[in-house]
């Protein structure tokens, strides 16, 4: 039986990136919908549930993506709400690659420092989809997490959102100019840049000055890179005594993880893959 993936994307054009990876991950056919709103979800999901018998439902799955993380979360909630046992299909949320990217970064950090519990982690520009997910996962692991934002109100909003979503105690701080970097980074053992493409967030001198720093991860692949002195292909190399990962160093694992998650969706009909369950899959992959 063919593996069918229903792609529900909150953006006008369903993501081509997500489609390509889905084919590579094991989907035989993708039914793509763009501009999907929460009101649309129930009927689209029912189309998956009532068409194949319960024992064959593992060959149908739902993918939720799009640029907007909070819309993606609403679509996921509606999809889960529309289904009832035994007529369920597996579903995954990865708006803008946020879950798979954040999980890949966090798993690399865990590989570098072991247990993150009690360690100070700074997530630069942690108000975006990737940073929020990463901050939440690090906090779940017991790290003392601070996210930064250029704007106090934006940081506070993201802080509240992360803490509610992950039942965590993340802090936020304003980082609007380089002179505050030393204070924000003081005592950090983990540094993760989740700032936008093409923006240098911290100079080499600034992160070199943090003598407690053990691992630094930069998710920005577009020059200028986010953490000066960390190269895009760095994948666990030591740079001035700090274990460094660049965007491709993380991204290669992210792509493998993304494909593995797609394959998992077609193994059973009751999975709900969000940050935590995707992290479980990533940690399993790392053990092998």
Ligand X SMILES: NC(=O)c1ccc[n+]([C@@H]2O[C@H](COP(=O)([O-])OP(=O)(O)OC[C@H]3O[C@@H](n4cnc5c(N)ncnc54)[C@H](OP(=O)(O)O)[C@@H]3O)[C@@H](O)[C@H]2O)c1
Residues that bind ligand X (CB under 6 A): 96-97, 101, 125, 127-131, 149-151, 154, 194-197, 199, 219-221, 247, 250-251, 254
Smallest distance from the beta carbon of 197 to ligand X, in angstroms? 4
Of 146 and 149, which CB lies nearer to ligand X in the complex structure?
149
Containing H/E element for 239? Answer: strand 235-239
Smallest distance from the beta carbon of 101 to ligand X, in angstroms? 4
- Report CA-CA distances (Å) from 194 to 112, 169, 224, 270: 18, 19, 14, 31
Of 255 and 269, which CB lies nearer to ligand X in the complex structure?
255
Of 76 and 105, which CB lies nearer to ligand X in the complex structure?
105
Q: C-alpha angle with apex 62: 59 to 64, nearest 5 degrees?
A: 160
Residue 94 and residue 100 in contact, taking contact as beta carbons nearer than 8 Å? yes
Smallest distance from the beta carbon of 72 to ligand X, in angstroms? 12
Residue nearest to ligand X (CB): 128
Smallest distance from the beta carbon of 176 to ligand X, in angstroms? 8
Of 113 and 221, which CB lies nearer to ligand X in the complex structure?
221
> Cα-flanking dihedrals φ and ψ of residue 273, to 5°?
-95, 110
Instruction: Provide the 8-state DSSP code for 181.
Output: H
Of 48 and 145, which CB lies nearer to ligand X in the complex structure?
145
Question: What is the C-alpha to C-alpha distance for residues 139 and 71, in angstroms, rounded to an integer?
Answer: 23
Smallest distance from the beta carbon of 60 to ligand X, in angstroms? 27
Smallest distance from the beta carbon of 168 to ligand X, in angstroms? 18
Question: What is the C-alpha to C-alpha distance for residues 165 and 208, in angstroms, rounded to an integer?
Answer: 33
Residue 36: asked if its preceding bond is cis (omega within 30°), the reply is no
Of 7 and 172, which CB lies nearer to ligand X in the complex structure?
172
Question: What is the C-alpha to C-alpha distance for residues 92 and 186, in angstroms, rounded to an integer?
Answer: 37
């Amino acid at each position: 039986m063919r593996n069918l993936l229903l792609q529900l994307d909150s953006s006008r054009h369903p993501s081509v990136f997500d489609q390509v990876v889905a084919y590579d991950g094991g989907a035989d056919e993708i039914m793509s919908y763009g501009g999907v709103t929460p009101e649309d979800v129930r009927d689209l999901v029912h189309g998956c549930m009532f068409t194949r018998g319960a024992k064959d439902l593992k060959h149908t799955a739902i993918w939720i993506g799009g640029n907007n993380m909070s819309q993606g979360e609403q679509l996921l909630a509606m999809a889960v709400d529309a289904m009832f046992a035994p007529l369920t299909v597996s579903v995954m949320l990865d708006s803008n690659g946020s879950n798979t990217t954040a999980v890949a970064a966090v798993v690399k950090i865990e590989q570098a420092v072991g247990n993150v519990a009690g360690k100070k982690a700074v997530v630069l520009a942690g108000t975006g989809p990737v940073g929020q997910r990463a901050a939440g996962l690090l906090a779940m692991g017991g790290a003392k997490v601070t996210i930064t934002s250029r704007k106090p109100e934006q940081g506070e909003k993201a802080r509240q959102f992360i803490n509610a979503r992950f039942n965590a105690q993340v802090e936020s701080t304003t980082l609007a100019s380089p002179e505050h970097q030393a204070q924000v980074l003081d005592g950090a053992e983990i540094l993760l840049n989740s700032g936008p493409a093409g923006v240098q967030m911290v100079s080499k001198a600034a992160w070199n000055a943090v003598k407690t720093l053990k691992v630094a991860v930069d998710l920005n692949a577009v020059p200028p890179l986010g953490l000066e002195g960390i190269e895009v292909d760095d994948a666990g190399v030591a740079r001035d005594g700090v274990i460094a990962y660049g965007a491709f160093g993380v991204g290669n694992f992210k792509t493998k993880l993304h494909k593995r998650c797609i394959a998992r969706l077609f193994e059973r009909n009751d999975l709900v893959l969000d940050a935590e369950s995707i992290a479980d899959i990533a940690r399993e992959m790392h053990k092998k």
